[in-house]
Amino acid sequence: MFFHAHPDDEALLTAGTMAMLAAEGHRVVLVVATAGERGLAEMEPGDALGETRIRELYQSAAQLGCARVECLGYGDSGLSPKGGSAEERPDNAFIDADTEEAAKALAAILQEEKADLLAIYDPAGGYGHPDHVQVHRVGKRAAKIAGTEIVLEATVNRDPLLWLLRVAGRFYKFPPEFDVRTFESAYSPGEAITHRVNVRKYAKQKRASMAAHASQASGGDSDRTLAVMLKVPRPFYRYVFGTEWYVRRDLPPGARLSHPFDRWPA
């Protein structure tokens, strides 16, 4: 089972792994906490956007071979730190959800599916989105309730990411609001990563998953992450996005595994 905050998060962080596991014959289940109704898009945020993004989620899941898709039904907290003020958030914002209650809802699906593995985010929620941080909290607790043995924290190796951003900064002027230093605490350092999964063979499915989320490739005042990723030429795409990273906390940091179900020591 892969637990994400919003539709399109699965495409960015875990799509290749999901496609790989489905191709290997595993039953892959995708659960999102919210419909992502406060995301940036050409249309106004709200129910209509949420409905659009859920439709896109099902399209993405079909490309990846998912057997089941579920939405827990919480409200999108928005991108502002801690979701902004209480007045700006919907009444059922995921960031305001009772962790135990949300964890029980997720655990019920884990138990129903007899899931062997749950993928969530690292404690930083990747880049710090409040709903992503909540996914970590809720997912960690749900796995404990359900007795799910393997919990993988989807992340990015921030070491080469920081290096690339610093090099790019020498030749490209980032927008004033973009601060490279914020990435010093985002995602996970290379030394903490336990799984480096080669998903190049599934680049076609991963790209199709990204392309399914058309509403998130536009909107806002600058290029969206998905739009930039989809501009990478196809021959290079499988190399640029051919690795997905995870941290498994019950393994030593020195573990170097290449498949979600690999054992340590081998």
Q: What is the tens place of the pLDDT at every residue in 197-222? A: 999 999 999 999 999 999 887 655 54
Residue 259 maps to a domain: no
Higher pLDDT, 226 or 101: 101
Mean pLDDT of the chain: 89
pLDDT beyond 90 at 232: no
Give the CATH number for residue 210. Answer: 3.40.50.10320
Q: Examine residue 231 and state whether it is found in any structural domain, yes or no.
A: yes
Residue 261 lies in a domain: no
pLDDT, residue 50, reads 92
Instruction: Flag whether 263 is in a domain.
Output: no
pLDDT digits (tens, 9 = 90+) for 153-193: 999 998 887 877 777 677 766 656 556 677 778 899 999 99
d(CA 31, CA 12): 15
Contact 50, 76 (CB under 8 A): yes
Q: Which two tokens stand for residue 101?
A: 């209650």
Sheet holding 243-247, edge to edge: 68-74, 29-34, 2-4, 117-121, 150-155, 243-247, 195-198
Q: Are 54 and 123 in contact (CB under 8 A)?
A: no
Residue 234, pLDDT above cutoff 80: yes
Q: Establish if 254 belongs to a structural domain.
A: no
Q: Residue 156: inside a domain, yes or no? A: yes
What gap in Å lies between CA 26 and CA 217, rounded to an integer?
30
Q: Are 23 and 39 in contact (CB under 8 A)?
A: no
Tell me, yes or no, whether 141 lies in a domain.
yes
Compute the distance between CA of residue 183 and CA of residue 126 in angstroms, rounded to an integer: 9
Per the structure, how many domains does the chain have? 1
pLDDT of residue 151: 98
pTM of the entire structure?
0.90
The answer to whether residue 224 is domain-embedded is: yes
For CA atoms 162, 238, 116, 7, the dihedral sign is: positive
* Placement of tokens 């989807």 in the chain: 154
Report, in angstroms and rounded to the nearest whole number, the Rg of the chain calculated over CA atoms.
18
- Is residue 38 predicted with pLDDT exceeding 70? yes
60-118 pLDDT, tens digit per residue, is 999 999 999 999 999 999 876 554 445 567 789 999 999 999 999 999 999 999 999 99
The whole-angstrom separation of Cα 220 and Cα 157 is 27
Q: Given CA atoms 77, 83, 87, 93 in this order, what sign does their dihedral have? A: positive
Predicted pLDDT of residue 43:
57
For the stretch 108-144, pLDDT in tens is: 999 999 999 999 999 999 888 999 999 999 999 999 9
16, 27, 82, 226, 252 from 11: Cα distances, Å: 8, 18, 24, 9, 28
Domain that residue 78 falls in: 2-247
Beta carbons within 8 Å of 266's beta carbon, 6+ residues apart: none
pLDDT at 179: 67
